[in-house]
A and B are shown apart, each in its own frame.
Chain A
Amino acid sequence: MSKPQGSNVKERARTALQDEFLIDAVKFTTERLKNGKKAATAEHGNWEEWRERGRQIRAHTVAHLDYYLSRFIENARAQGVHVHFAPEGKDAARIAMDIAKHRGAKSVVKSKSMVSEEVHINEAFEQIGIESIESDLGEYIIQLANEPPSHIIIPAIHKNRRQIAELLSKEAGETLPPETQVLAGFARRKLRDKFLEADIGLTGCNFGIAETGTVVIFENEGNARMVSTVPKIQITLMGMERLIPTWDDLEVMATLLPRSATGQKMTMYMSGITGPKRTEDGDGPEEMHVIIVDNGRSLQLGDPDFQELLNCIRCGACLNACPVYRHIGGHSYPGTYSGPIGAVLTPALNKNAEEWHDIANASSLCGACYEACPVKIPLHDMLVYLRNRKVERGVTAPGEKMAMRGFKMLMGSHAWFERAVKAGQLGQKLLVRGGVIKSRIGPLGGWTAYRHIPALPKKSFREQWTKVTAEAETSFKPMTDEMKSRMEKIVQSRAKGGH
């Protein structure tokens, strides 16, 4: 799959920042989703209570995951589900391929599943000559473009209608106008045929309900219903932490997820699928498989800094709230997940491997992600823990290491500190113009590329300290007439309700 060029986040972000449409589209849509969430949560009321309950349920489930997952498995099996286990992504792909090959399946239709992106299921099927088609409109578009999703909820957020019309026209063999209705109409007809002829339907899973062994899927288009209704075999990929204990808990998730994701009270469809079709049923899959995927998730269990990461319900609200994501878009992030959740999840799922680490720096640590999160995951804290671990492991860049060592020395001795300030005051004379430094020489460039550095004042705070304290202790300044009238004005303005 093609990703934007650049091996690190800075290079990828630079590519993204040159794409004006991408920047506008991502800003426009994230803004709309963000406002939608704001309106929906305000309308619902008591949002903090719901959020806290969501956090409690998810935290409780993850803390007892061994128990709840066992119940889910037992109850799903009792309804006829074949359950499989994938410690790693490649295991999930292997199991799915085994099932497909053994039955001689020719085609697979897929509904949206982030886990399937993690385990690269489409590529796996393609390699053995099985057609695998995405049926969510956005996923279908980016599959035709041979790109990964750039948003958890709106995968083709970065494509405009002209680009989409081009992609679909190629598929249609005729020129389609860039009109939403026409394009969606073509996708409906084309995919309807695919649904009807597909041997296997592959779905993701928003929640697994332990008490009944039910797979719950939220969606708006109806494609996940098609995928789980028409083909003879259903394969569901489920992240091992997707569980909730009961249907009662589903009410909380159904309250939090659609509102946080798109500002909807409910998605148009929420399906609870419990086993294959019953013998006497006329539709639904004859055979149902659930593949439970670990792929790095269990590494977070028992880790005090990162266990809460597993509470995530994949709503995408943190992406829409993040000032960094809103500027650089999803393809600037490595791996399947983007935005704040991706910045933490990708390194975490990949055993904190070094090559995934630069993304932890692409954050202002403002905490907007935490504010937006419907289950209160402290993502901004986790980004700090990630940076912390990176330093502890000694994988920091040599320049940064040296700078930090120097900083430690200066801050550890007032004599050194004073000398450094003096040297700075002298040295900066070469660079200061109009009270600011604009030069991009050497290490200054990282800062001055986008803003100016204010010059050091002639007298440092430490130098002024003796004088300031002496003044404060000895002199009491009587109020002058000018000061008095100024104060009076403030009091009057306040009385009128001003500041």
Chain B
Amino acid sequence: MAKSDPEFLARLDRESREAEKRFIGNIANRLGRPAAGPAPVHPYRGAPDFWASYELGTEEKIGRFMDNWRAAGGYPERIASMSGVPEVIARIAKERQARSTIRQNLPELANLQLESVLPELSHHAWNGRDPEGSLNICEQADVGIVLADHAAAYTGTIVVASSADKGRSVSLLPNVLIAVIPAERMYTRLGEAMSRVASIPAERFPAGVHFISGPSRSSDIENDLTIGVHGPGAAYALIVG
């Protein structure tokens, strides 16, 4: 495929600005306004009022998250501290007969020192400066390891945002996903995680924010459930703390 062509894109953008006037103008007219209206008051923003006070205690949150993750077909585990995590990952890697891992390039995950716990495996960290290489490694890796940015107990969901060090492919391409979730990042409601995402300023807003609630699945063949259709077929959630 040819390289991106700035001139072509600039032409499309010019055409777009022209088309936008007509397009938005038509909508405004249909709604009985001569042009796009000013910012309206949004009186119905977000969840119903009673929902905001719905709050679970720490243990309840973790229990609920684990129940939901398990019900979705995933494997939740509770670990007392980060020092217990390498051992659990080693066990999973052996059970799954993994030969390689890829992790987000984060100090918390580097500190697990998987290289010394699982010396027989090859280990890699995502490298945004080497997109092709990182993608290939991800495609070959058996296990992807991520640190969750947030988690929501009520739906059993983790949130993973992209960055130079946090490739989207890490939680997507390998057959096995292991998500490390510090207990203090666990909220009750999905909305709590969403409002944290929304509060990131535009200039630092991540290109991909992924809410993950279990293994990849499909019921498209006679409504019969299958796991691991495109994404990971095994999803582990390690709640730490």
A residues with CB within 8 A of B: 25, 28-29, 32, 46, 49-50, 52-53, 56-57, 60, 63-67, 69-70, 73, 75, 78-79, 82-85, 87, 95, 98-99, 102-106, 135-138, 141, 154-157, 160-161, 164, 180-181, 183-184, 187-188, 191-192, 195-196, 199, 211-212, 214, 220-223, 225-226, 228-230, 232, 240, 245-252, 254-255, 262, 264-278, 280-284, 286-287, 292, 294, 298-299, 301-302
Contacts of A73 in B (CB 8 A): 20
Apart from A191-B230, A280-B164, what are 17 other A-B pairs with CB-CB below 8 Å? A60-B40, A66-B31, A75-B202, A79-B207, A106-B1, A136-B220, A137-B218, A157-B223, A183-B221, A212-B202, A221-B218, A247-B198, A248-B47, A266-B190, A274-B208, A281-B164, A301-B31
Instruction: Note all chain B residues with C-beta closer than 8 A to A249.
Output: 45-46
Q: Which of B208-227 contact A (CB under 8 A)?
A: 208-226
- Give the Cβ gap from B163 to chain A, nearest Cβ, in Å: 7
Bound-state CA distance A108–B68 (Å) is 35
Question: In the complex, A19 Cα to B223 Cα: how many Å?
Answer: 18
Q: Is the CB of B46 within 8 A of A221?
A: no
Range for the number of chain B residues in contact with chain A: 35 or more
Contact A248 B191, CB 8 Å, known A180-B222, A268-B213, A284-B162: yes
Query: What is the chain A residue whose CB lies nearest that of B194?
Result: A247
Tell me if B19 and A85 are in contact (CB < 8 A).
yes
- Shortest C-beta distance, A148 to chain B (Å), equals 15
Minimal Cβ-Cβ distance residue in B for A31: B223
Query: Which of A78, A184, A221, A282 has a CB less than 8 Å from the CB of B127?
Result: A282
* Other-chain contact of B128, A187, A248, A281 (Cβ < 8 Å): A281
B139 within 8 A of A: yes
A187 neighbours in B (Cβ, 8 Å):
229
Q: With A64-B37, A247-B198, A301-B30 as known contacts, state yes or no: A265 contacts B213, CB within 8 Å.
A: yes
B190 to chain A, nearest CB (A): 5
Contacts of B32 in A (CB 8 A): 302
Contact A221 B216 (CB under 8 A): yes
- Kindly provide the distance from the CB of B170 to the nearest chain A CB, expressed in whole angstroms: 9
Contact A67 B214 (CB under 8 A): no
Q: A221-B217, A277-B207 given as contacts; is B202 within 8 A of A25 (CB)?
A: no
Selected A-B contacts with CB under 8 Å, 17 pairs: A46-B50, A63-B31, A65-B31, A85-B19, A106-B1, A137-B229, A138-B220, A184-B226, A226-B231, A230-B169, A252-B47, A266-B156, A270-B213, A278-B164, A281-B163, A284-B162, A301-B27
A287: B residues at CB distance < 8 A = 4, 9
Interface residue B150 (Cβ < 8 Å from any Cβ of A): no
Q: How many angstroms from the CA of A277 to the CA of B31 in the assembled complex? A: 36
B231 CB contacts on chain A under 8 angstroms:
221-222, 225-226, 268-269
**B101 in contact (CB, < 8 A):** no
Pair A284/B37 contact, Cβ less than 8 Å: no
Bound form: Cα–Cα A432–B46 in Å: 62
Does B130 sit within 8 A of A, measured CB to CB?
Answer: yes
- Find out whether the CB atom of A69 lies under 8 angstroms from the CB atom of B208: no
Chain B residue nearest in CB terms to A95? B12
> With A67-B39, A273-B208 in contact, do A154 and B19 touch (Cβ < 8 Å)?
no
B139 nearest CB neighbor, chain A only: A196
B43, chain A: closest CB distance, angstroms: 8
Top 6 closest pairs, chain A to chain B, by CB: A222-B231, A248-B46, A138-B220, A247-B198, A301-B30, A251-B191
Whether A49 lies near B48 (C-beta < 8 A) is yes
Query: Given A161-B222, A266-B157, are A284 and B197 neighbors across the interface (CB < 8 Å)?
Result: no
Chain A residues whose CB sits within 8 angstroms of the CB of B40 once the complex forms: 60, 63-64, 67
Give the docked Cα–Cα distance between A286 and B6 (Å).
Answer: 12
A274-B207 contact in complex given A66-B36, A104-B1, C-beta closer than 8 Å? yes
Closest to B39 in A: A67
Contacts known (A67-B38, A228-B208, A247-B195); A46 close to B220, Cβ less than 8 A: no
Contacts of B154 in A (CB 8 A): 265
For residue B84, give the distance in angstroms from its CB to the closest CB of chain A: 27
